[in-house]
Amino acid sequence: MNRTNNCGELSKSNINQNVKLSGWVNKVREKGFIIWIDLRDRYGITQLVFDKERSSEKIFNLATELGREFVIEIEGTVIERKKINEKISTGEIEILVSSLKVLNKSLVPPFTLENESDGGEELRMKYRYLDIRREPVKENLIFRHELSLEVRNYLSENGFIDIETPCLIKSPQKVQETL
């Protein structure tokens, strides 16, 4: 799986370039002769377009079978979008898909993976591996990582060392066995 770009980095300067992207299917919108898919990775969202006139019949038919959270890999050409979406960084472009590969199918998630999810706290915790794909949770994890990295770098630059020691005490189970 070699991708040329991440989903959040393409812009008008990439128009007419052939690109390869991979990620999760975020949304599917179908209008009979045209299908738009929002492809999401950790870096952003890029809109894909499958058109009966410009896409092969095989690719178009495969696109009709895609569902939310399918993992796909596509190749295509960056084209200018007719209607700009100012809500996303890649809102001026879309990808006219020439090749589509389904890497992993998915069942319909038990809740929407959007900023304001329809899943309650208990449901989201049960499916934590899905919840961490939501933007607010992802941003918190990245912030926590960056903060931890800064603290470790500061301490290291000031002569502290990070030591991971082997187990110095027995686990509770081992303690009970010895009693």
**pTM metric for this prediction:** 0.76
Class of domain 12-104: mainly beta
Q: Residue 103: pLDDT band by 50, 70, 90 thresholds?
A: very high
**Distance of alpha carbon 8 from its chain centroid, rounded?**
10
Percent of the residues in the chain that have a pLDDT greater than 90, as a whole number? 56
Q: Any idea where the domains of the chain sit in the sequence? A: 12-104, 121-157
Write the DSSP assignment of 109-178 as a string of letters.
PSS--SSS-SS-HHHHHHTHHHHTTSHHHHHHHHHHHHHHHHHHHHHHHTT-----PPP-S--HHHHHHH
In the prediction, which pLDDT does 24 show?
94
| Residues in contact with 144: Cβ distance below 8 Å, sequence separation at least 6, in sequence order | none
Which pLDDT tens digit goes with each residue over 45-72?
Answer: 999 999 988 888 899 989 999 999 999 9
Report which of residues 164 and 50 the model is more confident about: 50
Of 61-75, 105-119, 134-148, the poorest mean pLDDT is in 105-119
Q: Residue 102: pLDDT band by 50, 70, 90 thresholds?
A: very high
Q: Is the pLDDT of residue 36 over 70?
A: yes
- Segment 16-28 shows an average pLDDT of 94
Q: Residue 1: pLDDT band by 50, 70, 90 thresholds?
A: low
β-partners of residue 124 are none
In the prediction, which pLDDT does 173 show?
67
Distance CA 75, CA 112 (A): 27
Q: Is the pLDDT of residue 118 over 90?
A: no
- Segment 139-147 shows an average pLDDT of 94
Q: 33-46 burial, b for 16+ CB within 10 Å, e for fewer?
A: ebbbbbbbbeebbb
- Segment 111-120 shows an average pLDDT of 75
